Structure 1
Amino acid sequence: MNRKTDNTEGFDAGRRSLMKATGVAVAALGVIPVAAATPAFAQTSSWDKVFPKSDRVDHQKVSFKNRYGVTLSGDLYLPKERGSGRLAAVVVGGPFGAVKEQSSGLYAQTMAERGFATLAFDGSFTGESGGEPRNIASPDVNTEDFSAAVDFIGLQSFVNRERIGMIGICGWGGMALNAVAVDKRVKAVVASTMYDMTRVMSKGYNDSVTLEQRTKALDQMSRQRWTDAEKGAPAYQPPYNELKGGEAQFLVDYHDYYMTPRGYHARAVNSGNAWSQTTPLSFMNMPILTYIAEISPRPILFVHGEKAHSLYFAETAFAAAAEPKELMIIPGASHTDLYDRIDKIPFDRMADFFGQHLA
Structure 2
Amino acid sequence: MDAITFPNGQITMAGNLYLPEGLDRTIRHAAVVVVHPGGGVKEQAAGLYASKLAEQGFVALAFDASFQGDSGGEPHHLEDPYARVEDVRAAVDHLQTLDFVDPERIGALGICAGGGYAVNAAMTDYRIKALTTVSAVNIGTSFRRGWYGTDSDAAAVPTLQAVARQRTAEASRGAEPTYLPYVPAEPDENTPRDLAEASEYYLTPRAQHPNAKNKFLFTRSVSRIFAFDAFHMVEDLLTQPLLVVAGSEAGSLWMSTELHGRARTTKHLRIVEGGTHMDFYDIPKYVDQAISAATPFFTKHLAAKPAE
Q: Does 1:262 align with 2:201?
A: no
Which residue in the other structure is 1:189 paired with? 131
In structure 2, the gaps of 5 or more residues are 304-308
1:55-134 matches, cutoff 5 A? 59-67=1-9, 69-83=10-24, 84-134=26-76
In structure 1, the gaps of 5 or more residues are 1-58
Which residue in the other structure is 2:167 paired with? 225
Q: Does 1:236 align with 2:179?
A: yes
CA distance in 2, matches of 1:118, 1:337: 21
> C-alpha offsets along residues 226-261 of structure 1, whole Å, 9 cap, x if unaligned?
223353862212584312532332222112211221
Name the SS of the counterpart of 1:206 in structure 2.
coil
CA distance in 1, matches of 2:251, 2:150: 14
Which residue in the other structure is 1:47 paired with? none
Q: CA deviation at 1:145?
A: 0.3
Which residue in the other structure is 1:320 paired with? 262
Give the partner amino acid of 1:76.
L
Q: CA deviation at 1:283?
A: 1.8
Call closer, same or farther: CA 1:315–1:275 in 2, change over 3 Å.
Answer: same
CA distance in 1, matches of 2:201, 2:110: 18
> C-alpha offsets along residues 172-230 of structure 1, whole Å, 9 cap, x if unaligned?
10000000000010100001001000101122233344576422211110121122335
Which residue in the other structure is 1:165 paired with? 107
Q: CA RMSD in A?
A: 1.8
Equivalenced residue count is: 297
> Does the CA-based 8 Å contact 2:15-2:63 persist in structure 1?
yes
Call closer, same or farther: CA 1:298–1:210 in 2, change over 3 Å.
Answer: closer
Which residue in the other structure is 1:287 paired with? 229
Which residue in the other structure is 1:249 paired with? 193
| TM-score (normalizing by structure 1) | 0.79
| TM-score (normalizing by structure 2) | 0.91
Q: CA deviation at 1:82?
A: 2.2
Q: Does 1:307 align with 2:307?
A: no
Name the SS of the counterpart of 2:268 in structure 1.
strand
Which residue in the other structure is 1:137 paired with? 79
> C-alpha offsets along residues 24-81 of structure 1, whole Å, 9 cap, x if unaligned?
xxxxxxxxxxxxxxxxxxxxxxxxxxxxxxxxxxx111111214x2211100011122
CA distance in 1, matches of 2:183, 2:263: 32
Name the SS of the counterpart of 2:126 in structure 1.
coil
182-191 or 84-93: bigger deviation = 84-93
Name the SS of the counterpart of 2:40 in structure 1.
coil
> Does the CA-based 8 Å contact 2:123-2:239 persist in structure 1?
no
CA distance in 2, matches of 1:238, 1:285: 19
